[in-house]
Amino acid sequence: MSFDLSKLRAEWFGNVRGDLLAGTVVALALIPEAIAFSIIAGVDPKIGLYASFSIAVITAIVGGRPGMISAATAATAVLMITLVKSHGLQYLLAATVLAGIIQVFAGVFRLGYVMRFVSRSVMTGFVNALAILIFMAQLPELTNVPMLTYVMVAAGLAIIYLFPRLTKAIPSPLVCIIVLTVVAIALKLDVRTVGDMGELPSTLPFFLIPQIPLTLETFLIILPYSAAVAAVGLLESLMTAQIVDDLTDTKSQKNRECVGQGVANIATGFIGGMAGCAMIGQSVINIKSGGRGRLSCFFAGVALLFLIVVLGDLVRQIPMPALVAIMIMVSIGTFSWSSITNLRSHPRSSSIVMIATVIGVIATHNLAIGVLIGVLLSAVFFAWKIAQLFRVTSELSEDGTTRRYLVEGQLFFASSDDFTAAFDFKEALEKVVIDVTRAHIWDISSVAALDMVVLKFRREGAEVEILGLNQASETIVDKLAIHDKPGALERLMGH
Give the C-alpha separation, 284 to 334, whole Å.
7
Amino acid at 381: F
Q: What is the model's pLDDT at position 1?
A: 37
Give the C-alpha separation, 161 to 168, whole Å.
11
Q: What is the pTM of this model?
A: 0.73
Measured CA to CA in angstroms, residue 424 lies from 394, 405, 432 at distances of 10, 10, 11
Give the C-alpha separation, 210 to 326, whole Å.
36
Q: How many CB atoms lie within 10 A of CB 485?
A: 10
Q: What is the model's pLDDT at position 2?
A: 42
Give the C-alpha separation, 429 to 66, whole Å.
67
Q: What is the model's pLDDT at position 409?
A: 92
Antiparallel, parallel or unpaired: β 463-467 and 431-441 = parallel
pLDDT in tens, the chain (495 residues): 345 788 888 889 989 999 999 999 899 888 877 887 787 787 888 898 999 999 999 999 999 899 999 999 877 887 888 888 889 899 999 999 999 999 999 999 888 777 777 788 888 888 888 788 878 878 888 888 899 999 999 999 999 999 988 887 777 888 888 899 999 999 988 898 888 877 778 788 888 899 899 899 999 999 989 988 898 888 888 888 988 998 888 888 989 999 999 999 999 999 999 999 998 888 988 998 899 999 999 999 999 999 888 888 888 888 989 888 888 887 888 788 888 988 888 888 999 999 999 999 888 877 778 888 988 999 899 888 888 888 999 999 988 899 999 999 999 988 899 999 999 988 888 999 999 999 999 999 999 999 999 999 988 889 999 999 999 999 999 998 888 888 766 765 555
Write b or e for each residue in 371-386: b if 16 or more Cβ atoms lie within 10 A of its Cβ, otherwise e.
bbbbbebbeebeeeee
Identify whether the C-beta of residue 278 lies closer than 8 Å to the C-beta of residue 242: no
Q: What is the model's pLDDT at position 304?
A: 93
Q: What is the model's pLDDT at position 167?
A: 82
Closest CA to 253 of 97, 68, 26, 71: 68
Alpha helices in 365-470 (DSSP H): 367-388, 416-421, 444-459
